[in-house]
Chains A and B, each alone.
Chain A
Amino acid sequence: MGLFSRRKTVFVDSDVLVIGGGMAGCGAVYESRYWGRDLKVVCVEKANIERSGAVAQGLYAINCYMGMQWDENQPEDHVRYARNDLMGLVREDLGYDIARHVDGTVHKFEEWGLPIMKDPETGRYLREGKWQIMIHGESYKPIVAEAARKAATEVYNRIMVTHLLTDKTKPNRVAGAVGFNVRTGDFYVFKAKAVIVSAGGASHIFKPRAVGEGMGRTWYAPWSSASAYALPILVGAKMTQMENRIVLTRFKDGYGPVGAYFLHLKTYTQNAYGEEYESTWYEHTKELVGDYVDRHPVPTCLRNHALLEEVKAGRGPIRMVTKEAFQDPHKETVGWENFLGMTIGQAVVWASQNIDPKHINPELTTSEPYVMGSHATCSGAWASGPEDYAPDEYQWGYNRMMTVDGLFGAGDTIGGTAHKFSSGSFTEGRIAGKAAVNYVNDLGNEPPQVDEQEYRSLEKTVFQPMENYAVGRNEIVAGTVSPSYLLPIHGLQRLEKIMDEYVGGISAHYTTNTPLLDRGIELLGMLKEDMNHIGAEDLHQLQRAWELHHRVLASESVTQHTLFREETRWPGYYYRADHPKLDDDNWHCFTLSRYDRDSDSWEMEKAPVYHIVD
């Protein structure tokens, strides 16, 4: 009797399969049901959609709201803002598309019961900044999940999706997905006419600042394991801007957000000696990036850059000046509730270290890099744009369809659309949901066919780590050291060290070059080989093993993209020391990659950037 002799294979048929029930996934489920009344809409989630994804612990602001009803902003204003912040490179067709729909999404959230703060004088939503509105969002995710549960035909919690399936006869068409139940160990085969990938971006691909118990207190959730990228990459979907990792300036150790502090509380930063420092680095930054430094607001990466240079010059730590603002009891309450609503760990850090910002100006630091598609960065899949105005080069099918037929994406998955945040991710899910329903309706009598040989072969692959452990464990007395297998944590720490040292992590001051990247690719290649020898003691470790697989593949993509772009486009996010300046003549373009799993090789190309021109 083998360990999993009682393992079942469960087949689930669906019309629209939504992978990942975070904000984007819930939006996709909701909209798929609205347009696909008779369709089977299935949501699959590795945790529990009640508290899954990046919004699991709540939010204190919605960072993407136009306020068109009060003529506060128009969609094109948001496009210009995102373009400016990302140093010129965003998919403006996709960004506009989110911005024109997002207000309707937020109005629904309020109707569903999300407490949105109001300006007592105007009655409008209380603005934290030009794009942000303030909420009491402790239950943001449970509220949105309730809407998704009402909409879905079925929600499968605790299923880790490991691979997408392709059509038996058309290799560039998606046919479903496979995964396993983290509780029962059953193997799941989802058949689908259309698949929407709305999984999470990538934390823990670069070594975090805390490597002990606190390694879980990453800025982005530790459960954001790059499935957003690995799933599409494995079936050959083109990816874009994977080099565009993000580094966050945040309160030290807890990575508590600074947005409300800067924008609403009007706190500001200074160096260890109480001096303003950003202007010190103006001329230096201008030499690197030219006129981009003069744009308003100053791009996020350039503000990081000034902080990093100031610290390197020996005038750290950088502090947030809170003592003045926190004398106002209202502002003090906002400052604390901001953390309790979305980054409780920061409150824990301050309580533990007796940091009361009313009396002490707290330290700031820069985080390790993350790869994701919804904050001030835009890594992700290359997707078809909206049918009514996207340029021909951005349009080959249905809105938000990737370069694989029937494969859609939203949220962290879709590249080029920075600053969508929670509301924009849900909105992008809605856009993908309607498009996926249209795709399914147009398919008629030609549904994709899954290939039994393919999913049986994947079943063996999926459970191999448990086999590795069961066999290898007998060789050793006890402990974690085995000559035949690595545990998932071993692989994760190797990955983080490679990315940190060779691809521009914290220990390298976010700096890399061609020789470092070449060496990084060699070491990642060996790690990929070793991934065949990951050992999983139980189903929880099997989940960790597959999260690691996804992180490794995404990391390889990041490294290839970083090598391809021979410029430093976003100083403060990372530096190509061998190409230290921004180079609009050669690199005012998107980078695209396509992974070929048969040859294990990457093809790189450039794609044009279209701007809204007035």
Chain B
Amino acid sequence: MPTFVYMTSCDGCGHCVDICPSDIMHIDTTYRRAYNIEPNMCWECYSCVKACPQNAIDCRGYADFAPLGHSVRALREEAKGTISWKIKFRDGHEKDFVSPIRTTKWGTIPSPSDYAAPDAGEYANQELAHEPDALNIEGGLPALAPDQLKQGVV
């Protein structure tokens, strides 16, 4: 539709509404379940599919070029740190893939304010946070000399 919601699986929790980058997953006022209100503004990004706790959302390829009978299912498991895919072709053959999604625990990224505050003198130079150390190079942040930039056709 591209994404659509199975009536018997959706419990109306609204995770898809909250996450959709295109603002097209809304709650139907009669059935109190989610649906795609604007399929032609759907990117098939699967943000809603991945976020749905009930696995109630699936995708049917765009009607103007995708024949029926296929499916691409995703299962994103944050605790395991993986995303699993099952691709089913119109002719029935299948392919499965699993990829890692993160190497650290969710929520463990430090705030930039957890690092030591920069010295007053550092504001005027060109170094950004964590530089030059984060570059892993000798000699500090590279720079051009002003006379290296000239007009002309090269």
Q: A residues within 8 Å of B by Cβ?
A: 30-31, 33-35, 37, 46-48, 50-53, 56-57, 68-69, 74-76, 83, 88, 92-93, 96-97, 100-101, 103-104, 107-108, 112-115, 136, 138-139, 143, 146-147, 150-151, 158, 182, 210-218, 221-223, 253, 333, 336-337, 340-341, 344-345, 347-354, 356, 386-391, 427, 430-431, 434, 437-438, 441, 540, 543, 584, 588, 608-614
Asked whether, in the complex, the Cβ of B111 is within 8 Å of the Cβ of A51, the reply is no
Q: How far is the CB of B149 from chain A (nearest CB, A)?
A: 4
Asked whether, in the complex, the Cβ of A151 is within 8 Å of the Cβ of B113, the reply is yes
3 nearest interchain CB pairs?
A113-B104, A214-B62, A212-B64
Known A-B contacts A31-B112, A35-B129; A69 and B19 likewise in contact (beta carbons under 8 Å): no
Asked whether, in the complex, the Cβ of A214 is within 8 Å of the Cβ of B64, the reply is yes
Asked whether, in the complex, the Cβ of A347 is within 8 Å of the Cβ of B72, the reply is yes
Q: Give 5 new A-B contacts, CB below 8 A, not counting A104-B130, A213-B40, A253-B66.
A: A48-B21, A115-B99, A143-B102, A210-B65, A214-B40
Q: How far is the CB of A527 from chain B (nearest CB, A)?
A: 20
What are 22 residue pairs bridging A and B, where the CB atoms are less than 8 Å apart in the complex?
Answer: A34-B113, A34-B118, A51-B19, A57-B47, A75-B142, A97-B126, A100-B141, A101-B131, A107-B135, A107-B136, A113-B108, A113-B109, A115-B101, A210-B64, A212-B64, A217-B43, A222-B41, A345-B61, A354-B89, A387-B126, A391-B146, A584-B153
Asked whether, in the complex, the Cβ of B117 is within 8 Å of the Cβ of A37, the reply is yes
Other-chain contact of A344, B67, B72, B88 (Cβ < 8 Å): B72
- Asked if B54 is at the interface (CB within 8 A of a chain A CB), the reply is no
Q: How far is the CB of A400 from chain B (nearest CB, A)?
A: 12
Q: How far is the CB of A114 from chain B (nearest CB, A)?
A: 7
Q: How far is the CB of B47 from chain A (nearest CB, A)?
A: 4
- Asked if B18 is at the interface (CB within 8 A of a chain A CB), the reply is yes
Asked whether, in the complex, the Cβ of A540 is within 8 Å of the Cβ of B37, the reply is yes
Q: Report the Cα distance A331→B148, complex, angstroms.
A: 43
Asked whether, in the complex, the Cβ of B135 is within 8 Å of the Cβ of A69, the reply is yes
Other-chain contact of B149, A93, A356, A427 (Cβ < 8 Å): A93
Known A-B contacts A31-B128, A104-B130, A430-B128; A56 and B149 likewise in contact (beta carbons under 8 Å): no
- Asked if B107 is at the interface (CB within 8 A of a chain A CB), the reply is yes
Contact code string B53-77 (vs A, CB < 8 Å = 1, else 0): 0000001011111111111101010
Asked whether, in the complex, the Cβ of B108 is within 8 Å of the Cβ of A221, the reply is no
Residues of A within 8 A of B10 (CB): none
Residues of B within 8 A of A103 (CB): 134-137
Residues of B within 8 A of A386 (CB): 126
Known A-B contacts A56-B21, A387-B126; A348 and B61 likewise in contact (beta carbons under 8 Å): yes
Other-chain contact of B128, A96, A113, A387, A434 (Cβ < 8 Å): A434
Asked whether, in the complex, the Cβ of A337 is within 8 Å of the Cβ of B65, the reply is no
Other-chain contact of B62, A34, A143, A213, A427 (Cβ < 8 Å): A213
Other-chain contact of A138, B72, B83, B152 (Cβ < 8 Å): B83
Q: Report the Cα distance A337→B89, complex, angstroms.
A: 16
- Asked if B30 is at the interface (CB within 8 A of a chain A CB), the reply is no
Other-chain contact of A216, B2, B83, B91, B136 (Cβ < 8 Å): B2
Q: How far is the CB of A547 from chain B (nearest CB, A)?
A: 10
Residues of A within 8 A of B118 (CB): 34-35
Asked whether, in the complex, the Cβ of B110 is within 8 Å of the Cβ of A389, the reply is no
Other-chain contact of A34, B22, B68, B91, B115 (Cβ < 8 Å): B115
Contact code string B34-46 (vs A, CB < 8 Å = 1, else 0): 0001111111111
Q: Which residue of B lies closest to A144 (CB)?
A: B109
